[in-house]
Structures are given as C-alpha cells and as structure tokens.
Amino acid sequence: MAKLWSGRFSKDSSKLLDEFNASIPFDQKLWEQDIRGSKAHSDMLCEIGVLSAEDRDAIHRGLDEIACEILEGRFEFKLSDEDIHMAIEGALIERIGDAGKRLHTARSRNDQVALDFRLFVLQSNQQIRSKLCALIDTLLKIASNHTETLMPGMTHLQHAQPINFGFHLVAWCCAFKRDVERLQASYERHNYSPLGSGALAGVPYRTNRESVAHNLGFIAPTLNAMDSVSDRDFALDLLYEIAMVMMHISRVAEELVLWSSYEFGFVSFSDEYSTGSSIMPQKKNPDVAELLRGKSGRTYGNLIALLTVMKGLPLAYNKDTQEDKEGVFDSVQTALISLEILEASLQTLTIHTDRMHQMALIGHISATDLADFLVQSCGIPFREAHHITGEVVAYAESRGVDLSELAEDEILGFDSRIKTGVKQALDLHTSMNARDSLGGTSTKQTLAQIQILQQWLTLKAKDHNG
C-alpha cells in the first residue's frame, strides 16, 4: 500500500530508507497509548461537530478490533508503515474507509507521538513507584524482625560502631523513599496533554483540548504548541530518576555481594536466586546481586544518550527525537525487573544473625563508648579518656579478645578514677542502644523510623494518583 504521506512523491522510497527511517520495530510498544489517544481525539472531534457520531463510533469499533488483533498477535507490523501511528491509522482506513480518513483531522504525528510517549512515561513512572513501594514494604518487614540483631556498622568498610541490622535496612528504605518522591514530583510536573498542538503551531479548528486532556486522565492541556511537540523533558526526568533508582540498587547489591561472601557470611541467597559455576562444582554465585549492580550502567547510558540527542535541537519537532524511545523502554524494563528480583531475592534471603554478632565482636567497636563512659561517669577529661581507651584496646588486642569481652576488674586496673559499671557500658547491645538520638540506631529509634516509613507507605497506597 502507498504511504499515507505519499501524495507529493512520484517514486517509492528505497528499502534502505524504510529500514533507516522506520520506528515501527520499536514504537509498536506504544500501540495501546496510540489507540487511547485516537479514541479521545475522535470523541472531541465529534463533540465539536467535526465528526458525526456514526464516524466516531466506527472509529472506536475499528480501533477496538485493531487492539484485539495486536493483543492476539494477529496484527502485522510492516516496515513500510514507518511508525505505530501510521500503522494503526492505515489499518483503520482499510477497515472502515472514509471515517478512518477523518481521524487525523486537527492533529499531527508530532503531537500524537508526544502524547503516546508521554502516556507511556507516566504509566511507567507509576509502575516503578509501585514496585519501589513493594520493595520498601518488604524491607520494612525484614527490618522489624531485626531491630535487636547486632552487626558491625561500618565507615570506610571498616568496623566502626555497633548497629542493628534493621537500622541498616531502614537506611536503604530512605533512599528508595526519595526515589518514589522524585518520581511522584515529575509525574505531577508532566501530567499535561500535548494533544491538539498539531504540527507545531496549533490547529485551525475550534478544538477542545481540555476535554481531550481530561478524557485521558491529564490535569490539563500543555500551554504552548511549539514546546509541546519538541519537549522531551518528561522522558529525561524519568531516565534520570531511573538512573538514581539503579544507583541505589547497585549500592544495595554491592552490600549483598559482600555479605554473601565467606569473608562476611552475613546472608545467603536462596537457591532460587543463586547460580552455579560451570567449572567449580562447589560454587554458589550471587549473580543476581552482581547483575543488579551492573545494570545501572546501561541506565546511565540511556540518560546521556537522550540528553545528547536533545542538545542543540532547534524548535520544533525534529526527527532526531525518534531516538528518544528505545533507551526509555530499556531503562523502564531494567528498573521494573531489577526492583522485582531484588525484592524476591530479599524475601528469600537467609540472614545469619550469629555471624553478624560474631563479626560485631571484632574491631573493638565499643571503644567510643569506653571513652564516653570515662568522660561522663568518671569525670576524666576527653583527651585523657581517649588515651586510656587506647591503652585498654591495646591490652584487649594483646589478649586476643574484643574490648567488650574484658572483665570489669581488668578495665578498673587502668586508672583509679574508673568507676564500676564500665563493663556494662561496653556491652555491644548497650552501646547500640546508647545511640538513642533522633535518627540513631537504638532499637527504640529504629522502631520509630520503621513506623514512620510504614505510615508513609499506607498513605502512598491510598494515593490514587499512583
């Protein structure tokens, strides 16, 4: 069939051009959005008297049939159709004739693609948020069971101070919560309909862009037609937000890789979410976590690629923007599957609390508590307290035990001002719970943080804006 735009051409396009120019191999993913947009557009054309009710009904029926065919895999996507917009419009005309030819009145592919892609981006934004919330929910459930599980808190990957495992998980949750909020903010920023902008300058019909916008679930139409057809900020915001999500996931994944090693031994992945080695029969590899760590790379690439496409583009629409889609599809798919598998592997993770405790006994991590005790309970100036603590640590070291394992008498011997009760202060649980300042690691503070996040999640679940 001749191309829908072939009127002023006398020769067919070359096959090479068709291959180079077409977006149908990838933008067929937007078929649902395209059909939704066309239905809303035809409703509006009917409302303003440009289409008869019969034509509108025929268009709706035709589009429904096409949707069925696509869903059932019976629709043939042809390279010669160039893109999803022309494929669907062409198929509609084949089916319903003249009514189909009237559908493209008062619209252009430029506002059509801007609409379809924006709908896809907004929908993906919601899906990613809902997966993030599910992940946070799972993390909070695990965290609530481990608010007394001691582990070494680290800085520079060195044992620093005792924390509880739940507290560590809550730290992850905070990052994912910010991701949800970032996505929510850009959802609101971009929830405007570009349809009706025409090619670049609006259309010479008395259209009702408000009704189309509301019909499609947007807050309102966009302001300026030229901006509407050339803007891809909505896609860039999503790419950036996904890059952030994946950066956070990569940090979580890195800790899981470390923790599942023999050296740490804090967690084991279930067999369902581990892989073996083709040569070393004994091995169980954390491939899931490693892939999660590695997947961030492609999402950063997708962001930079689209930023580069958009840089320096003159207004309004340019074909360059056709390059906006594949990276977004890839980032969205990457984020969705990553969030899902991360949650699933956490749900089935075995947590070795004994090993965490054992590791907390390495590195004299209650040394700060000894110095604080000498200052607060014994009236020793901090500089001296620091020095005495150093001596006690060296002594524990020479005996091959942790500071928290020394007997009270052994510590009292270091300075006559040291008061009894010092041993208790060095107990790891006491030390963890001493950090009871707002946001701190004490069991009480951790539980409070969990509760706040759970309340936030409940509110999110009620928020119908996704």
Task: Give CA 66 to chain center in angstroms.
Answer: 33
Contact 251, 176 (CB under 8 A): no
Among 56, 109, 118, 129, which residue sits at the site for ligand ARG (rule: CB under 6 A)? 109
CA distance readout (Å), 184 to 27, 181, 233, 296, 466? 25, 5, 15, 21, 8
Should residue 197 be labelled a site residue for ligand ARG when binding is judged by CB under 6 A? no
Q: Does 274 bind ligand ARG (CB under 6 A)?
A: no
Q: CB neighbours (10 Å) of residue 322?
A: 17
Nearest CA to 422 out of 461, 372, 460 is that of 372
**Could you tell me where the DSSP H helices lie in 348-407?**
353-360, 367-376, 382-399
- Regarding 184 and contact with ligand ARG (CB under 6 A), the answer is no
Q: Which residues inside 124-183 make contact with ligand ARG, applying CB under 6 A?
A: none
- Decide: is 335 part of the binding site for ligand ARG (CB under 6 A): no
* DSSP E strand boundaries for 274-420: 350-351
d(CA 126, CA 119): 11
Active-site residue identified among 156, 278, 398, 437: 156
Report if residue 83 touches ligand ARG, rule: CB under 6 A: yes
The span of 44-52, 62-70, 267-275, 314-322 binding ligand ARG (CB under 6 A) equals: 314-322
Size of residue set near ligand ARG by CB under 6 A: 10
**Minimum distance between the CB of residue 85 and ligand ARG, rounded to whole angstroms?**
6
- Distance of closest approach, residue 99 Cβ to ligand ARG, in angstroms: 23
- Name which of 25 and 294 has its Cβ closer to ligand ARG: 25
- For ligand ARG, the closer of residues 21 and 358 by Cβ is 21
33: contact with ligand ARG by CB under 6 A: no
Looking at the Cβ atoms of 85 and 429, the one nearer to ligand ARG is: 85
Nearest to residue 217, comparing CAs of 122, 130, 299, 303? 122
Name residue 161's beta-bridge partners. Answer: 153
Q: Is 110 in the site for ligand ARG (CB under 6 A)?
A: yes
Is 352 among the residues known to form the active site? no
Nearest in space to 369 (alpha carbons), one of 402, 345, 340: 402
Asked if 124 is an active-site residue, the reply is no
3-state secondary structure of 25: helix
| Residue of 44, 58, 70, 113 interacting with ligand ARG (CB under 6 A) | 113
Which residues make up the interface to ligand ARG (CB under 6 A)? 23, 27, 83, 109-110, 113, 317, 319, 321-322
Positions marked catalytic: 156, 277
